[in-house]
Structure 1
Amino acid sequence: MLIKDVSIMEDGRLLRDVNIAIDGSRISGVGSGVADESGDGVVIEGSGMLAIPGLVNAHTHLAMTLFRGYADDMELLPWLEEKIWPLEAKLTAEDIHWGVKLGCLEMIRSGITCYNDMYYFMDETARATKEMGLRAVLSGVLFDMRPDLIEDAEPFIRRWKNDDLIIPAVGPHAVYTCSEETLSRALELAERHEVMLHIHLSETRSEVESFEKNCGKSPVEYLDSLGFLSDRVIAAHCVWLSERDISIIAERGVNVAHCSISNHKLASGIAPLDRLARAGANICLGTDGASSNNSINLFQEMKTTAIAQKCAHSRPDLFGAGEVWKMATENAYAAFGLDLGLRAGALADLSLIDLRKPWFFPLTEENIVSHLVYSAQGGVDTTIVGGRVLMEGGFIPGEEEILDRAQQQFGDLVAR
């Protein structure tokens, strides 16, 4: 496959008329004189397009796209206890299948090629994701109140460990829903199979204050006392952190999945990204679920992250476009061990964005990253994962069926 005469970004500047050759699942060459040596004869015209490496959604609950708009404008705990958990108790594998596919449609249309998920029915999530062609790091959620989920964690890892698109992980929900025994089992399992740990951490003030009152330690300090924290951990939210918490996160190499829009919508707070960044923590971006965002779109997340941090600190120079762009790309690649990027040898996960959209004008060689972070409102034309074209010219095969079935599943779910 050859993507011909496309633009790319190099050191934050626009570089035009570049060819990208793809052979199998990987990029075989990038440059003005690169030719297609795969022999498949596939040529995608890239003129007027910008090729970007795949974006990574570092924290979501994808099947919750079925809950989009179902329970808005509530605080986190009442939202969970009164709305979300009762509805989740009715979920079936069929609901998950179509909810995941609906979420995949949205991600494909917004340039996300890989996502990190924690939820229920993860085998069904994995199957639906593979059918859609996306890459995913998947962990079944673990709670003390559901010992069956804990028992299935290792079999799930064994079933998917060598898959080309699915990366199994372990997902203890949070310190307030998992006992020390459950957390220790999750850690031992992750270390034995050399997989990631995915956990919600210090999301709300009340969560942290209650835990400190009962345990005498912050959630971060508690996890550290168990030996839980390392670069194997993806910690979602991390809104309410002390200076000691931040030092621990940075020293242990914990990867932070920042979910700006969800945190703001639920009034959970504004995460101390400036202090995390100064301490050297690796910060990635997640959307959280569509029930609390309500979109699965990292372009929205990038803009909100940048402007919220600037406003919170009265510092317009904080978190420039280039730094935030790295959170959705390079930082996430490092967190999840993904061999991605627009270079020879990397996995062929990328998107083409139509630059002939009003929000990209006026366009110069220097302002392309600014436009992507602050003004992009869409325009993803083509998305490719592992050398497979998932969308071209804005067309995704089977989209209408997915939309219709997702609508039907939601109606069936709330009627149960």
Structure 2
Amino acid sequence: MKIKFSNAKILTMNPDSKEIIEGELWVNDSIIEYVGKSKIAGDSFDQEIDVEGNLLMPGFKNAHSHCPMTFARSLADDMSLSEWLNTKIFPLEAKLTPENVCVYTKLAYMEYLTSGITAAFDMYYEPDAIIKASLETGFRTVLCGAINNFKESPEILEEYYQKYNKCSDMISYKLGFHAEYTTDIGIMEKVAQLAEKYQAPVYVHNSETQEEVSTCIQKYGKTPTELFTDLGLYQYGGGAFHGTYLSEQDMELIKDHKVHVVINSASNTKLASGIAPVTKMIEHDLMLGIGTDGASSNNALDMFREMYLTAVLQKAVQKDPAACSADKMLYMATVGSAKAMGLYDCDCIAAGKKADIIMIDLRQPNMQPINNIVNNLVYSGSKQNVKMTMINGKIVYEDGKFYTIDKDKVYEQANKMLRTLLG
């Protein structure tokens, strides 16, 4: 199917073309075919959409989440991370069925679509159920291994890695484990062997809390980053989810090993875990992305809120209003997150890239006047401005309507399942 978007403002996020283009964008099946000034009619299209002066831009990429954890939204609040995990989350997760995981994942996707998120980096279990939700919904998913002492194993991780990187162009799978504090060193060593075998990056929760870092130093005489580096887990790059307590030495190691750091500002502040030193990370020229974490700790899956919080928290901590500019935040939420997820073919808008595109309604009060569109998106933008979400060349959400999801059915199933889980 060939679609023409005309009369559009286009924010490409392409480093080679930073200006906002006024013109049109063509999508041919799943690929962006043309971006630029309006052309004289000649080509034929299956659908033509007048954007009416609104904004087209790359979809946001949620570079760290636990999608099925929508089941615990607002169920275990106002608790520390350790208490929250051990007394509330782990006991309920033990009861989850694949059907539960599929339904609660779809619920997460619905929220993503309304927030202009076109892909998520999902660290969770029951990957078949998550992939089922992804393919039925038309949502792009990168899966991440979540093995630890209690669930799954390095052998299962390798099986998943081989299997899920071949199943669909909408699905990819990365090596990963939950965290140092839930994973014995023997398991970590086996994951490092897999990284060497496949020359693949490894992703893990890293330095999310002060307690995590202190305990790791007591056990190993090293920070989590130093431990992971010495074990060879980061020899081919990877990701550090959260990075709230990274030392200067950690940042140098992360830079040297080309590891992406994914910031989760809403979750970290709500759990009182701390505020990641994003300004210092930028000074160290680290590769940064943004994630929402799960709905059980955030509790919203909203990239606008994440961008705003990340920026203003740094300004407050640094006592510097120039810290963490809107340009940097928007880059982290789109291109930076896409690169952290390995989605190099849908990081920006350019001919030949995947058509993962959102339309922002500029005719809302919070977008007016248009002094600076990027600043508006980060500092005053919200989910109300997302008019359309396209993934892989297909419009899956538009003006409050979900084209691939029966929202009433999902809501009914989600609430019924929760009553069973709570017993």
Which secondary structure does the structure 2 equivalent of 1:228 belong to? coil
State yes or no: 1:407 paired with 2:423.
no
> Does the 8 Å CA contact 2:142/2:171 hold for their aligned counterparts?
yes
Alpha-carbon spacing, 1:194–1:408, altered in 2? closer, same or farther (3 Å): farther
Contact preservation (8 Å) 2:153, 2:187? no
Q: Counterparts of 1:3-402 in structure 2 under 5 Å?
A: 3-9=5-11, 13-16=19-22, 18-34=23-39, 41-146=46-151, 148-162=152-166, 163-230=168-235, 232-337=237-342, 338-340=344-346, 341-364=348-371, 367-378=372-383, 379-397=385-403, 398-402=406-410
CA contact (8 A) 2:4 2:45 kept: no
> What amino acid is aligned across from residue 420 of structure 2 in structure 1?
D
* 1:300-343 superposed Cα distances (whole Å, 9 cap, x missing partner): 10000000011011011110100111101121233233212111
Between the two proteins, what is the percent identity of the paired residues?
35
Would the alpha carbon gap of residues 34 and 176 (structure 1) be closer, same or farther in structure 2, given more than 3 Å must change? farther
User: C-alpha distance in 2, partners of 1:412/1:232?
Assistant: 41
CA deviation after TM superposition for structure 1 residue 405, in Å: 1.6
Pick closer, same or farther for the CA change 1:230–1:56 going to 2, 3 Å: farther
Structure 2: runs of 5+ lacking an equivalent: none
Runs of at least 5 residues in structure 1 that lack an aligned partner in the other structure: none
SS in 1 for 2:34: strand
Q: Deviations over 1:117-147 (max 9, x none)?
A: 111111111110121111111024101223x
1:359 Cα deviation after fit: 0.6
Deviates most, 185-194 or 130-139: 185-194
Q: Which letter does structure 2 place at the counterpart of 1:385?
A: I
Q: Displacement, 1:39? A: 5.3
1:197 Cα offset (Å):
2.1
**Contact kept? 2:21, 2:36, Cα under 8 Å:** no
**1:346-384 CA deviation, whole Å, 9 max, x = no partner?**
1100111111111101113xx100010011122211111
SS at match of 2:387: strand
Q: CA deviation at 1:36?
A: 8.8
Question: Structure 1: how far apart are the matches of 2:148 and 2:225?
Answer: 18
Any idea what SS the aligned residue of 2:120 has?
Answer: strand
Equivalent residue letter for 2:9: S
TM-superposed CA distance for 1:189, in Å, is 2.4
Distance of 2:79 and 2:28 partners within structure 1: 49
What SS class does the counterpart of residue 277 from structure 1 fall into?
A: helix
| Contact 1:380–1:394 (CA under 8 A) maintained in structure 2 | no
Residues in 1 aligned to 2:309 and 2:396: alpha-carbon distance in whole angstroms: 28
* Contact 1:2–1:35 (Cα < 8 Å) also in 2: no
Deviations 1:206-262 (A, max 9, x none): 111111112111111111111112453111011112211111111111100110110
TM-score (norm 2): 0.93
- Distance in 2 separating the partners of 1:229 and 1:35: 51
Residue 73 of structure 1 and its aligned partner are, at CA, apart by 0.6
1-side partners of 2:229 and 2:158: how far apart?
Answer: 23
Cα gap change, 1:34/1:332 in structure 2, threshold over 3 Å: closer, same or farther?
A: farther
| Structure 2 CA distance for aligned equivalents of residues 384 and 36 of structure 1 | 24
> Following TM superposition, by how much is the alpha carbon of 1:149 offset from its aligned partner in structure 2, in angstroms?
4.3
What's the CA shift for 1:37?
A: 8.4
Query: Aligned in 2, Cα 1:127/1:213: closer, same or farther, shift over 3 Å?
Result: same
TM-score, normalised via structure 1 length: 0.94
Contact 2:29/2:393 (CA < 8 Å) preserved in 1? yes
Code of the residue aligned with 1:382 in structure 2: it is M
Q: 1:263 deviation in Å? A: 0.5
Cα distance in 1 for partners of 2:232, 2:81 equals 28
